[in-house]
A and B are shown apart, each in its own frame.
Chain A
Amino acid sequence: MAHPLRSAVRKSWQTLSSIKTGVVLIILVIIFSIAGTVILQRPITDPDDMQRAYSPAMLHFLDSTGLTDVFHSYWFVALLLFVSLSIIAASVQRFPNAWRYFSRPYKSPDEGFRRALPIQAQIAITDEEQGLGAAERAFRHMHLKSERIVRTDSFSLFSERNRISEMAVYIVHASLLLFFLGYFVVDAIYGWRGFMMLNPGSTSDKIEMRSGTTRTLPFSIRCDGTGEETYTDGTPKRWWSKLVVLDQQREAARKEIVVNDPLVYHGVRFYQASYGRTGKLERLLLNAVPANGNGATQEISLSEHQIVSLDPDTKVQLAEFIPDFVVQDGHVYARSNDVVNPAVHMIVTLAKENRAVNVWLPEIPGIAENASSPYKFEPKELKTEVFTGLEVSHEPGQWAVWAGVILMAIGLTFVFYVVHVRYWVVPIQDARGNHMLWVGGAANRNRDAFEHSFKRLVEQIQKEVRPTTAVGPEKPAESIPGTTVAGR
């Protein structure tokens, strides 16, 4: 009351830490996540597809609200920040209590507690010492450690197991915070992803980033070879690339990477992402047969723009390689970069006659002058250039994420499968002055199983008590006398 500001702060703190806020935040995260999977997302979807799917006004609206890139929009990150704050606030709010509970266990129950505890039983005994002794033996029988609690005016027994289970939920929440720290803080600030294309033999330190910019690495990567293996039916079986890391001009690392097995160097990871042909010629093997039939057949090998002498008078140059050609209006055009319908343009020069002949393979009518060439060419083998596509990423936050995963696995195991079990045994006197042993138990979860083991404990104590005492007069001997196992 005294300070309105302080009370406002306290109120918002309480709101933030309440389970209701948590549930509302979870619902909001779910709603926006659904939106992010239903609405087409920006970097992945082709801009043309976006325009086809939405009207311009709609697209403008979606873009301006960040709905086309939900998971990277500032408000989604802000929402998850709120979730983290809520988890922290809830944990801070509840932790002191839980810690007190954990560090100072409640060992000798008072009368009020004894009355209220739902799971309890009473057993008739002759005197305190005999009852407590029997209970101790029963605990030992059930592999439980018990301790005698000595107060000024009373003795009692206390036994417990798995106290750590009370802390488990904080472990789980801490692991969630580690996820957020790794993904939304470390990786969002220091992480990056990009793409790199290499031909065998080439070296590069440039990475095309998702955003379209280029990033230069402090070291460079050389590709010593790449290839594809296929199954007999043609489906790809394996893609591989031999990569070498060159740091300050010297070889720092070397690895043959395949899909599912990347190269890691200084926290930068290189993944085999794709493999293909660039549509450029690497080498063409040809047989050159003299057109007049005199002379031997020569085997020649050409790469682009290379010139080879066939005889002292004749030279051949590979002028152009078209991977997928189409003829239109007397010109040859390339339709695509896929090697599906290749054509080769060669120029045969005759020094003596001072003329050049345009030879095309295959012979394109109207353009090719193959007939006037002194040599006929028979293609033998066509080798086109291959490339390896490398996905490159730097995600320093992943260690926080993996630590979070391990922590969460441990936490969940404790939350669901490790039960904090407590037993108290207190000798009391009932209204008529008879000595009784009050036995109580509590478990923080899995109540049914606990009720079962509590019954077993009570039966065991009775067994230990019975040899020397008669059963209380008003209680039937068969059922557990005085056992009141209350419902929930």
Chain B
Amino acid sequence: MTVVGKNIPHESAATHVAGRSTFIDDVPPRSDEVFLEIFGSPVAHGRLKSLDLDAARAVKGAVGIFTAKDVPGHNHFGPIIQDEHLLAAEETTFVGDPLVLIAAATREAAVRARLLVRAEMEPLPAIFSVDQAIAAGSFIGPERVIETGNVKAALAAAEHTLTGTLDINGQEHFYLESQAAIAYPGEGGEMLVLSSTQHPTEVQSIVAEVLGVPFNHVTVQCRRMGGGFGGKETQAAGPAAMAALVAAKLKRPARIVLDRDTDMALTGKRHPFTAFYTVGFSSTGRISALQLDLFSNGGCTADLSPSVLERAMLHSDNAYFLPNARITGRVCKTNLPSNTAFRGFGGPQGVAAKENILEEIAIFLKRDALDIRLANLYGIGERDITPYGQKVENNVLPQLISDLRDSAAYDRRRSEINAFNAQSTSHLRGLALTPVKFGISFTKKTLNQANALVNVYTDGSALVTTGATEMGQGVYTRIRQLVADDLGIPYERVRIGPTATDKNCNTSPTAASSGTDLNGAAALDATGRIKSRLAAFAAPLLNASAENLRFADDFVFDPAALDKRIAFLDLVCRAYLERIDLGERGFYITPGVDFDRDTGKGTPFLYYTNGAAVAEVLIDRFTGELAVPRVDLLMDAGIPLNPGIDRGQIIGGFIQGMGWVTTEEVVFDAKGVLLSHSPTTYKIPNISDVPEIFNVRFFNNPDSAKSLKRSKALGEPPLLLSIAVWAAVKNALAYAAAGAIPPLSLPATGEQILMRLSHLRQTAARRAIPESAPAR
């Protein structure tokens, strides 16, 4: 009985549904534990004049109050540039920037003390938007360029050109479990930290640096997260380090669990982007040249912004060949919380910028946007080199799109929508098909490594640990499946332990959709070597040669001599008695990937995950209200490792993306205070937003030979399919725009739709006499 390729329930499902899975704040408190609250800067950019902590100190139950001067080691860190502080010493750079940590014996006392802290700040000039940053020349890092061909010449020679701007807003992760950690001080400067983190190794190094102790004194463990989505890749480290700091100072366990409003106000989000573009194309809609300048809003520090920008640039071709392109990118520095990784990591913004251009070309040429998309798709054996020089191989998109076009009845529905929009005065419908080609691998080469520890015990059970963290995506389940099949033992006999830095060192974050690809391969490296030793030991017992032995169905045997076989349990017991090592550490590096960000050239990706979506939208012309009555998704998952979990990634990613492009709007006021700071004011998709008709299929692609067991990474790519919903809104508005290109930023909220419609109506009324074609 093998389990790879089967729909095995999530390994924690049974305890999840019973309420028996333990998250950080479910760990019973120790009697001497303290609870932390953060007092943050009341202004977006300011200089600390004075702090009044007396009233807070006097609160009954308050145990300790800490500021930057209490940090024994470094107060500065950051994954790319060391420009972040744990606690602001003098200058604060966003509203909520932590200034003071309050530790108290109870949550209530900690909150009461926090409310009594007073800070006197001298406000400094602050900027918040991409436009303001460009005007002020406020950037993080250098401009990046990816270039191919000669854009200037090609634009000059183009039959048509279009120029425009697209504003893309951010997105709050809204993981259900907020940032949380508990730190337990040990003897001799040791520190054990339970953290809800996608990157235990980074938490370990930051905790060690803040405390001024060697890395080997700090153990960081994560059993699971209540959601991550990129928000706990770098930004789990701050709270964890705060807990560790207080635990070290007080020599008592310290717990920090951000309340929802604080979490949303303090942590970074998906980067807002502004895209400026000029595109040249022929009357058939084929693009000859693209000049695209991307500006991301990085917030107050670098965090991962340069890498996010890079992935946005690497995805702004999406699935389309660009013979001439110049793609530039800059990270803007503003006084907002530092924006960070979020599922897709810049890819969605790059793809949205490109799909917007295709919609606009279609409107301009009065053609169906699908025709324009097909005319520009990467070819097979020709027109297949990306602007950064990687060849697009195993390109299934032409076939995949054709399959989806049929199954979603795209053409029939297009005619229906044409007829509907011509006669309805109350509603508008729109339709779009958008593809995705998402590059798999970290674009930072170093991170494409993983290690795993596999222990086989003498009762025939196995324990695996890797650097992969479980945030709901099912990486633990998949790795258990892989190890069980490779050792040929039942799935139930394999356990996967909490991810911890004392078992797996120097690990990469669980990110870039790579969790299973990297860590699963490392685990198989370990099991492979255990099997080699066991096979060598078993060969004489079975009178077979070691290389012919198979591990399956809980036995070891030579398929050519099935009458002689040895039970796995029997074999490991005998091997142990003969002093054969049953544990192994495995290691894996992704072969062949490399990218030079200075030249903008290379082969950053091992392979691409492809898919496409058809989305239909319905808009109420009176109110702007948007509904998504039907969506069809077709996803190339290679050969799925676990179709149930893979399907969950596709649907979950799509709906999360649908929130980004429709109802989720991050709103700051003019002073940089987050107004959308809780689910009352920030609206992620609800169960009633799931499309009434929602068809989700896997595309049959057994040829993805480069990937693990010919499966494909699915963590992020499906999110980008949601851009079809946004494109369908743009398409719907085009019907009301009398031939003009309707502007639309992202997200397409009901408010924006109504205001755009009202404006189009007024413009149309003005244009009514004389009727004139758009002169561009």
Do A and B make up one complex? no
**B-to-A contact residues, CB < 8 Å:** none
